[in-house]
Amino acid sequence: MKQTDTAFQFIGCSELREILGEEAEDERRLVELLETVPLDSIYYHTHSYFLRHSYVERVYPNDFAQWVAMEVRDHVLGERLAVVDPFELNGLEALRTELIAIIDDHLSSTPIVPRVMFGKPFHFNQSRHLEVPTGLEVRTLREFRNAVSEVEVSAIYFHVFEARHRLKRKESDFSAWIDQSLGMPDLAEKFRAINPYLGSLERLRSAMLTLCDEFLVREPER
């Protein structure tokens, strides 16, 4: 079995939330605050959403879509916000711009600004993540596959979401290690092709395990 000299160390994370004290009771105020809140708040309500809902897949995969659909009861805008894919956008500022454009376009065709009647206002938050070592270290693809199957889900979040968007790496830690340390560019490319925003973190875990198993069947010495 091929073994690399560069071990992969799994790191989990713990989220510390900070309340910003800004809230919206209608969609106009929501878009106004979207223009001014820190980018970390955009991150919290979109990317970190997956960490807070790591096991359950939601119809509305970000806090903005969830609030608009469930609290304001504006399902048309909720659906439009739900299909925003951060994976296809170049950074958090581009994501902010896209969210604002969608809401502005929706409001331009709505005679009355939709607002909360019986639901809760939208509260803007931001957060930071503390790294938590897991003690898991691997040097082969099989060891990696087994570790992925058992590691705490926050480690999957850290190495995929935090690595790219907070730590500014070009790709996930998983695909980078598979490519550079294991020397398996084909598998690394398949990892890069997984869209982490389509489903829960548990679905992401399953997709990675499936890819590892496919390659281990073809190249069991890995």
Q: For residues 80 and 152, state if they share a domain.
A: no
Which tens digit of pLDDT belongs to each residue from 115-170? 999 999 999 999 999 999 999 999 999 999 999 999 999 999 999 999 988 778 88
pLDDT at residue 220, rounded to an integer: 61
Q: Against a cut of 0.85, is the pTM above it? A: yes
Look up residue 188 and give its two tokens: 């690394």
At 73-129, the pLDDT tens digits run 999 999 999 999 998 898 999 999 999 999 999 999 999 999 999 999 999 999 999
The answer on 46 and 84 residing in a single domain is yes
Within-domain flag for 32: yes
- The parent domain of residue 152 ranges over 8-13+132-218
Instruction: Indicate the pLDDT class of residue 1, thresholds 50, 70 and 90.
Output: low
Residue 2 lies in a domain: no
- The residue among 125, 159, 193 that closes a domain is 125
Check the CA dihedral 184-187-219-10 and report its sign. positive
